[in-house]
């Protein structure tokens, strides 16, 4: 099913209904407004469903709707349509509040893949603290007021560098980030290309190295500032093992495959303004080992709490996995 076409059709139909509503209110004494309102509700639900299916950035949608309500408020005052002014004003304040809250305080995020299991599963909805690392411009994500910086062990949500329209691929491995000379910077770098078509795409990973850190990866072992990250085996079987890993006084569980060898050897010095991130599902994660370092301005915020689990739209949501993210 082509959800891009459906979403575009929803936008066109919505614009037509708004224009027709204004015409009906002004020239027909609101004769068809009730029918338009009835039709608008399922149309809005369909549009929202397309937003989730296409993984669009809901922040841009909210900003667009807020500006649209302000525009119709101005049109209502210009045409002296009191009902349009009343409706637009109520939408503007509600959408404006939601936009400010989501842009500067907390943002919901749905876990899209298995790269962070066992801690985070597909279908987990997490709250992302957006002011943890400073106040940021919601359009462009530039830091306006600095606060704390991410530290090793933090779970962060960010825009991956190879999908950012405003960056080049070379920005993911800035000059000076490597101590060892090699023909291959990252595991699958040659298989990746710049693709900014999916503007809503965000990843969630764990920071293991921060600016100024030296990082060395030898197969499945990670060394930060010449110290190996300690791992304690807590469960194993023929196919997989689970370890309790410690980083920067934080403890969390990681998964490792027992049937897949990881041939990866590299050394970095992390430059200022960049972070090295990996998934907790170490052998099934597309992360900094593949596409490079994460710039500070690409970070949305810190994932703090699982508040809902909804694995598919055909199942019922549950709150059984509610917990603070380690």
CA distance 302 to 206: 10
Point out the domain boundary residue: 37, 69, 104.
Answer: 104
Q: Could you tell me the pLDDT band of residue 163, with boundaries at 50, 70 and 90?
A: low
Measured at the CA of 75, the angle between CA 71 and CA 76, to 5 degrees, comes to 115
Is-contact 276 215, C-beta < 8 A? yes
Q: How many C-alpha atoms does 86 have within 13 Å on its Cβ side? A: 4
Residues 159 and 65 in one domain: no
pLDDT value at 91 more than 80: yes
User: Any idea which residues carry the catalytic annotation?
Assistant: 115, 205
**Quick one: 112 and 93 in the same domain?**
no
Quote the CA–CA distance of 247 and 282 in Å, as a whole number.
15
The domain boundary, picked from 70, 104, 138, lies at 104
Q: Can you tell me which residue has the tokens 């007021």?
A: 145
Could you tell me if 119 and 184 lie in one domain?
yes
Are both 243 and 292 inside the same structural domain?
Answer: yes
Residue 154 clears pLDDT 90, i.e. is over it: yes
Question: pLDDT tens digits, residue range 249-299?
Answer: 889 999 998 876 666 677 888 999 899 999 999 888 888 888 888 998 889
CATH code of 300's domain: 2.10.109.10
- Dihedral, CA of residue 209, residue 210, residue 216 and residue 221, to nearest 10: -10
Number of domains in the chain: 2
pLDDT > 60? residue 200: no
- Domain membership of residue 127 as a residue range: 106-324
Those residues with Cβ within 8 angstroms of residue 89's Cβ, 6 or more apart along the chain or in another chain? 73
Identify the H or E element spanning 108.
Answer: strand 106-110
Whether residues 222 and 310 share a domain: the answer is yes
Does residue 225 have a pLDDT over 80? yes
Q: Are residues 139 and 60 in the same domain?
A: no
- Asked if pLDDT for residue 244 goes beyond 60, the answer is yes
Q: How far apart are CA 213 and CA 12, in angstroms?
A: 51
Confidence class for position 126, pLDDT limits 50, 70, 90 = very high
State whether residue 230 is helix, strand or coil. coil
Q: What mean pLDDT comes out for the span 6-35?
A: 84
Please check whether residue 23 is in contact with residue 30, taking contact to mean a CB–CB distance below 8 angstroms: no
Same domain, 144 and 221: yes
Q: Which of these three, 55, 82, 104, is where a domain ends?
A: 104
197 and 86 within one domain = no
């Amino acid at each position: 099913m082509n959800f891009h076409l459906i979403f575009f059709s929803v936008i066109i139909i919505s614009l037509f209904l708004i224009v027709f509503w204004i015409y009906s209110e002004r020239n027909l004494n609101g004769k068809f407004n009730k029918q338009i309102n009835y039709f608008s509700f399922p149309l809005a639900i369909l549009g929202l469903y397309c937003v989730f299916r296409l993984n669009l950035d809901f922040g841009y949608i909210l900003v667009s709707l807020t500006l649209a309500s302000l525009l119709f408020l101005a049109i209502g005052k210009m045409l002296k349509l009191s009902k349009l002014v009343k409706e637009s004003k109520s939408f503007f304040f509600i959408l404006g509040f939601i936009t400010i809250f989501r842009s500067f305080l907390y943002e919901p995020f749905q876990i899209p893949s298995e790269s962070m299991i066992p801690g985070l599963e597909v279908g987990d909805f997490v709250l992302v603290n957006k002011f943890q690392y400073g106040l940021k411009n919601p359009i462009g994500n530039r830091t306006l007021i600095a606060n704390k910086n991410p530290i090793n062990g933090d779970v962060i949500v960010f825009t991956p560098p190879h999908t950012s329209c405003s960056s080049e691929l070379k920005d993911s491995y800035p000059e000076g980030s490597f101590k060892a000379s090699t023909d291959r910077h990252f595991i699958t770098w040659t298989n990746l290309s710049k693709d900014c078509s999916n503007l809503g795409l965000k990843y969630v990973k764990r920071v293991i190295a921060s600016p100024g850190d030296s990082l060395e990866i030898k197969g499945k072992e990670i060394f930060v500032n010449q110290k190996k990250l300690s791992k304690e085996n807590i469960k194993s079987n023929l196919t997989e093992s689970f370890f309790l890993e410690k980083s920067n006084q934080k403890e969390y569980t990681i998964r490792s495959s027992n049937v897949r060898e990881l041939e990866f050897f590299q050394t970095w010095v992390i430059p200022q303004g960049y972070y090295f991130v990996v998934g907790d599902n170490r052998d099934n994660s597309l992360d900094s080992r593949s596409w490079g370092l994460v710039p500070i301005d690409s970070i949305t915020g810190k994932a703090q709490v699982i508040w809902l689990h909804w694995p598919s739209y055909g199942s019922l949501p549950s709150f059984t996995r509610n917990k603070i993210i380690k």
